[in-house]
Amino acid sequence: MAQNTLEKTSVTMLGLGAMGAALARTWLAAGHPLTVWNRTPARAAALAAEGARVADSAAEAVAANTLVVVCLLDDTSVGKVVAGADLADKDLVNLTTSTPDQARARADWARERGARYLDGGIMAVPPMIGTPEAGGYVFYSGSRTVFERHQETLGVPAGTTYVGEDAGFAALHDVALLSAMYGMFAGVAHAFALVRREDIDPAALAPLLADWLVAMVPAVHQTADQLRSGDYTRDVVSTLAMQVAGTPTLLSTAEGQGVSTELLSPYLDLMRRRLAEGGGEENVTGVIDLLVR
């Protein structure tokens, strides 16, 4: 166990799955006294050997410390696990992935039980926890008091980014980033599919693709700038009219290569709709307004 536990905040950790165990281990290694509980007790054995105190029940673990961190499978399991515990005057930090509405409801639920509530959305996978150079971090939202009081402790496993008092905002930021990631994965899948049957080494395409995607990243900031100003023609280099004119090339090439356009077509359809509505001098920012119902 790490030395010098003096003045380190004591932490209770509920849930020792892949993520919960990784989080717990970093607090232990940093010298934070740690009480853990997991539904399947065997998963606590390794942490016990490293110095964690293992509680017999979730209620006992919650009673041990003011700072209670929860990282379970889903919101339903959080409700089940924490139901029997006395939450009065606890700082409950829930790092379980949930929807914004679940997080808000969980915040109300915790408040009704006398707890202060902070929600978290983890932008990392377990090997990134406790590895600052990996760049993982956690979005936090909800009680600013809890965030500020425990920021140093919460910063031990990964970076911390507070995004507001609305308890649903951490989950919303988490899902926004993940959704963008899947959009990128969809584009990457289509690109590799196009060359799949050719004598083109995927390993040769990969760096070209990666560099191109990185070169396109400034578009994210331009989009934000246009949304804030309301002027979707601001600093446009490639107009929507020009881009839509190029879409038959993309679709014909896919057809020629025997590749389904089911990933690409929905986005191109939205571009065409925006053009039809008169957005020809914009770039693609207007598509966002078609998505918001």
Q: Which of 12, 35, 94, 96 binds ligand FVH (CB under 6 A)?
A: 96
Residue 143 CB partners (closer than 8 Å, separation 6+):
91, 116, 117, 118, 165
Element (H, E) at 123: strand 116-123
- SS3 label, residue 66: coil
Judge whether 101 and 94 are in contact, CB under 8 Å. Answer: no
Q: For residue 201, what are its two tokens?
A: 């080494």
Element (H, E) at 68: strand 67-70
Shortest distance (Å) from residue 72 CB to ligand FVH: 4
The nearer residue to ligand FVH, 137 or 232, going by C-beta atoms, is 137
64 binds ligand FVH (CB under 6 A): no
- How far apart (Å, rounded) are the C-alpha atoms in residues 215 and 213? 5
Q: Which of 59, 73, 134, 288 binds ligand FVH (CB under 6 A)?
A: 73
- How far apart (Å, rounded) are the C-alpha atoms in residues 182 and 115? 35
59 binds ligand FVH (CB under 6 A): no
Shortest distance (Å) from residue 171 CB to ligand FVH: 10
Residue 57 CB partners (closer than 8 Å, separation 6+):
37, 84
17 binds ligand FVH (CB under 6 A): yes
15 binds ligand FVH (CB under 6 A): yes
The nearer residue to ligand FVH, 70 or 284, going by C-beta atoms, is 70
Q: Which of 66, 97, 102, 283 binds ligand FVH (CB under 6 A)?
A: 97
Residues belonging to the chain: 293
Q: Which of 5, 9, 29, 39 binds ligand FVH (CB under 6 A)?
A: 39
The nearer residue to ligand FVH, 173 or 274, going by C-beta atoms, is 173
99 binds ligand FVH (CB under 6 A): no
Given CA atoms 95, 96, 98, 101 in this order, what sign does their dihedral have? Answer: negative
Q: Which of 83, 125, 206, 216 binds ligand FVH (CB under 6 A)?
A: 125
How many amino acids of this chain bind ligand FVH (CB under 6 A)? 22
Judge whether 275 and 267 are in contact, CB under 8 Å. Answer: no
User: Which residue's entry shows tokens 């008091």?
Assistant: 145
71 binds ligand FVH (CB under 6 A): yes
Shortest distance (Å) from residue 209 CB to ligand FVH: 24
Shortest distance (Å) from residue 81 CB to ligand FVH: 5
Shortest distance (Å) from residue 168 CB to ligand FVH: 15
20 binds ligand FVH (CB under 6 A): yes
The nearer residue to ligand FVH, 21 or 191, going by C-beta atoms, is 21
* Residue 125 CB neighbour total at 10 angstroms: 12
Residue 122 CB partners (closer than 8 Å, separation 6+):
19, 71, 95, 97, 136, 138, 158, 174
Q: Which of 34, 36, 81, 146 binds ligand FVH (CB under 6 A)?
A: 81
- Chain residues binding ligand FVH by CB under 6 A are 15-20, 38-40, 43, 71-74, 77, 80-81, 96-97, 122, 125-126
